[in-house]
Structures are given as C-alpha cells and as structure tokens.
Structure 1
Amino acid sequence: MRKPGSSIRRSAAFFVMSGLTTACVPSVAEQAPAPAAPVVAAPIPANYGGLGTVIGRTAETLERAFGRPDLDVREGNARKLQFSSSLCVLDTYLYPPGGRGEPVVTHVDARRPDGSDFDRASCVAALGQAR
C-alpha cells in the first residue's frame, strides 16, 4: 500500500525535474544564428587582362603577345619561356596537358630585373604594352 501523499510528491518531483532540464536548453530566441553561407568569388574570365591572358596559352600565343622570348629552355616535354622588359621579367612554364599534346602555360613567376618581387598580372600587362 502506498503512503498517503507519495504520488503527489512524485508528481511534484517530476515537474521540478522537468523544469530544471528545460532551463538548461536555450529558447529559440536565445540560440546562436546559423552561420552565413560562404561568399564565393566569381571565376575570372579567360580574356581578363591579367594572368588569364597567359595561363593555358601555347608558346605561339605568348610570342604573338610578347614577341620573341629572351630565354627558351626545353627539358623533356616541358618548356620555360622568359620574357623581359625594363620593368619586369616573366617566366612562363609550359607542360603538355595530361602529359600529351602541345605544352601550355601552367605556372607563371614574375620579378623585377634586380630579382625583387613583382606582381605577375602587372608584369603580363607591362610586357603586353611594351610590345
């Protein structure tokens, strides 16, 4: 047999415990806002006046844009073409896509004639104007 009032105490304990657990959960208004979607930059079109005029281009295309290279080094199926002006030196590295076909520019380095850093896109623009 149950003691008188024991079910009331159990009910009261249940409600107190329920109140304590809900006190630990923040309300919807207190929750942190969802993180914003990341901002993704639009791709630079290939005809952009910077590196897009060089990356992916063939040696013939580079020569039309910048004239004869000052240096033409071949090693296996890779090639390095160097173009320079009084402002900068541009090294272009050409490799065949997938190891086959005509080599195209995959990487570009730029520097001042004294060896200090120079912006690659600015060097491409300067060499294009110097021609």
Structure 2
Amino acid sequence: MTHLHFFFHGRFAGPNATAVLVAVPPAVIVLDDPLRDGPEASSKLIGKAQGLTAQASQEGTYLLMVVNFVFKAGKYNGSSLAILGRFVPDVSGTERSIVGGTGKFRMARGYTVGNVYIWTASYFVLELDAYIVHY
C-alpha cells in the first residue's frame, strides 16, 4: 500500500486557465490542472490532473469527476492513477475511488480523500490524500 499527499491546483479564468467550461447546462469542465507538493502556486510540480467534471445533480453543486493523476516527477514519474467519483466543493473529506493505474501503479485500487484548501470564483486548491493498493 502507498500513501501519497499532494495538492490539486486549478484556475478557471485568465490566460493560464487550467479548467475550462465547455458545455452549459449542465456544466462540463475539462481539466489539465497541476498537482503540486504544496498549496502555494510556486510549490514543486509533481504531475497533472487531466480529465473532466460534469454537473451530476439537480439539487446543488455535485460533480462527477473522471480524472487521471499523471505523475511527472520523483519516484512515480511516468505512472498514473485513474480516479472516478463524486466531488462536492463545499464538503470536506470527499472520497473518490481509484479504479486503476499505470506504471508503478499498475492494477491500482484504493481511494482519495479530498479537502478544499482554497475555493474562489477563479482558482481552487484541493488537498488530497491517496491510499493505493498496487503491485
């Protein structure tokens, strides 16, 4: 089992936007967000979160998240995790399933626990813990 702790940074606006709204309604957002080892924008880049989220409820901001965490540095460089699950921006401790992986995470299973560190209209940072069983 491997435990990883990192931060998922996203930017909705500006010339360096990493999350782009592509369809409304319901909202569908395509992501190519940095994964960093800290909450600051200047923290070391360790990978990318690439995928999409879609509004998946009529009762509030409940999103379906389908994303690959692609690692680009350190021990897990070239490996990835496939994440699937519900994301609720205003709830701490949101869990998502790890449904697969590549490289050092081949045949991965597990889960992530995410907490909102920063959430504004144009920028967000999620603190993530990933608990991964793999070969």
Same fold (TM over 0.5): no
Q: Which has the higher strand share?
A: 2
Larger radius of gyration: 1
Q: Which has the higher helix share?
A: 1
Instruction: State the TM-score, normalizing by the size of structure 2.
Output: 0.32
